[in-house]
Amino acid sequence: MASRWARTGRADATLRAASGYLVLAVLATSLALVLRDGAPWIHPSPWLPMPFWPALLSSAVLGLTLAAVVVLMTRVAARFTWARRLHAELRPVARDLSFGQVLLLAGLSSLGEELLFRGLLTPLLGVPLSALLFGLAHQIRGPSRWVWVAWALVVGLGLGAIFAATGSLVGPFLAHAVVNAVNLSYLRDHDPDDAEQQPTL
């Protein structure tokens, strides 16, 4: 009985988080349409103006490349004590997630955050400032707070640069979703206290 209640509680928490990200996506889209008079998934003045399909393809390729680099860097960082500590502090969020919950959270968190920080804020504030706000939004409690902020800031710079360069939000969304899905799964499946395992960010 207790196990069933625990599963129900986790499912409810996942659904609330996913719903919050969906509301964020709708809000960011609405604000972009009002403030920018344009869709947030298209940059109004990209660094490299291209036709729609080449821009989308370039964005997707760059996004998937960035995702691969970020995932690889998290595995390399896992050798260090600060990364193991960060993994331990983040793990409770992912420890009991099912595969479906990982995909749901990865997809909707990426959608909401990309529409807000890249789609809405990057054209208004520029890549560095929107990345700084993205980093600050990733604060957590505990000693690893600023490590996580700095990591998110650096990744935010990459995501913002892809959007500003190609004009398409497809690449940043793909990168964000892949990184979230892979790293949530890794957080769930790997115990940083196990000396045989290498933790991740």
At 126-182, the pLDDT tens digits run 999 999 999 999 988 878 889 999 999 999 999 999 999 999 999 999 999 999 999
What is the number of structural domains in the chain?
1
42 strand-pairing partners: 168
Give the residue from 137, 136, 118, 134 showing the smallest Cα distance to 126: 118
Distance CA 11, CA 128 (A): 36
Residue-level pLDDT at 82: 87
Q: How confident is the model at residue 9 (pLDDT cuts 50, 70, 90)?
A: low
201 assigned to some structural domain: no
Residue-level pLDDT at 22: 96
17 assigned to some structural domain: yes
168 strand-pairing partners: 42
User: Is-above-0.85 flag for pTM?
Assistant: yes
171 assigned to some structural domain: yes
- State both tokens at 91: 């793990």
176 assigned to some structural domain: yes
152 assigned to some structural domain: yes
27 assigned to some structural domain: yes
Q: Packing angle between helix 170-189 and helix 99-113, nearest 10 degrees?
A: 140
Note the pLDDT tens digit of each residue in 20-69: 999 999 999 999 999 987 899 999 999 999 999 999 999 999 999 999 99
198 assigned to some structural domain: no
Note the pLDDT tens digit of each residue in 88-128: 888 888 888 999 999 999 999 999 999 999 999 999 999 99
199 assigned to some structural domain: no
> Taking a C-beta distance cutoff of 8 angstroms, is the pair 151, 78 a contact?
no
Domain that includes residue 40, residue range = 2-189
